[in-house]
Chain A
Amino acid sequence: MEFDPGLFIGLFARTFTFWWLILPAIFLGLVVGAIPGFSAANTIIILLPMTLAMDPETGLIFMVALYASSRMGAGIPAILVNIPGTAGAAATPLDGYPMTKQGRGQQALAISFVSSVFGGLLATVITLLAMPWLSQLAFYLHSVEMIVIMLFGISLIATIAARDTLKGLIAGFFGLMIGYIGADVVYETPRGTFGFLELYDKVPLIPALVGLFAVSEAFFVIEGESILSKRGREAMQKAGWAGTIEGVRIALSKWWHIIWTSMIGLVIGVVPGAGAAIASFVAYQQSRTFSKTPELYGTGHVEGLIAPESANNGVTSGTLVPLLVIGIPGGATAAIMLVVLQYHGVTMGPDLFMDNPELAYGPFAAMAVTYFMMIFTIAPLARYMSRITVVSTIYMSPIIISFTLVGAFVPRQYMFDMYLALVFGVIGYIARKTGYHTAAILIGVILGPLLETYFLRVLKMSEGDIMVIFSSALGNVMWVALVICLATPYMLQRWRDRKAAA
Chain B
Amino acid sequence: MTDHEEQENPERKSLGGDLVLPIGAFLFTLYYFYTIIDVPRIAQVSAFFVGTILIFLLILLAVRIGREVKAGTADLRLGRLGEPRSFIPKRLALFALTLGFIFFVEWLGFTLTVFAFLSLAMLLLSGGKKKGLAFSIAGILALGGYLLFIVAFNTRFPAGPFEQLMEWLF
Query: Which A residues fall within an 8 A CB radius of B?
Result: 38, 43, 46, 166-167, 169-171, 173-174, 176-178, 180-181, 184, 186-187, 189-193, 215, 219, 222-223, 393-395, 397-399, 401-403, 405-406, 409-410, 413, 415, 418-419, 422, 427, 430-431, 433-436, 448, 451-452, 455-456, 459-460, 464, 466
Q: Are A192 and B18 also in contact (CB < 8 A) when A170-B54, A219-B91, A401-B101 are?
A: no
Which of B3-11, B44-52, B69-77, B160-168 lies at the interface? B44-52
A174 touches which of B25, B43, B145 (Cβ 8 Å): B25
Please state if A174 and B39 are interface contacts (CB–CB under 8 Å): no
Interchain residue pairs with CB less than 8 A apart (26)? A174-B21, A174-B25, A174-B28, A176-B50, A177-B29, A177-B47, A177-B51, A181-B32, A186-B42, A187-B43, A189-B43, A191-B35, A192-B32, A222-B91, A401-B94, A401-B117, A406-B145, A415-B102, A422-B98, A430-B81, A431-B21, A433-B81, A448-B50, A455-B46, A455-B49, A464-B45
Please state if A406 and B42 are interface contacts (CB–CB under 8 Å): no
Please state if B117 and A402 are interface contacts (CB–CB under 8 Å): yes
Q: Which residues of B contact A403 (CB under 8 A)?
A: 114, 141, 145
| CA A397 to CA B124, docked complex, whole Å | 11
A-side interface mostly: helix
How many of chain B's residues have a CB under 8 angstroms from any CB in A? 66
Q: Are A433 and B17 also in contact (CB < 8 A) when A46-B154, A184-B43 are?
A: yes
| CA A210 to CA B44, docked complex, whole Å | 30
Having A177-B51, A398-B94, one finds 11 other A-B pairs with CB under 8 Å, namely: A177-B50, A184-B43, A186-B42, A219-B94, A219-B95, A398-B117, A402-B121, A406-B105, A406-B149, A434-B80, A464-B45
| CA A436 to CA B80, docked complex, whole Å | 13
Chain A residue nearest in CB terms to B142: A402
Chain A residue nearest in CB terms to B58: A170
Q: Which residues of A contact B22 (CB under 8 A)?
A: 170
Minimum CB–CB distance from A124 to chain B (whole Å) comes to 28
Chain B residue nearest in CB terms to A147: B46
Q: Which residues of B contact A178 (CB under 8 A)?
A: 28
Please state if B61 and A167 are interface contacts (CB–CB under 8 Å): yes
| CA A176 to CA B101, docked complex, whole Å | 30
Minimum CB–CB distance from A183 to chain B (whole Å) comes to 10
B147 at interface (Cβ–Cβ under 8 A)? no
B114 touches which of A171, A192, A406, A431 (Cβ 8 Å): A406
Q: Are A166 and B54 also in contact (CB < 8 A) when A184-B39, A464-B45 are?
A: no
Q: Which residues of B contact A174 (CB under 8 A)?
A: 21, 25, 28, 54
Q: Which of B51, B118, B155 has the most CB of A within 10 A?
A: B155
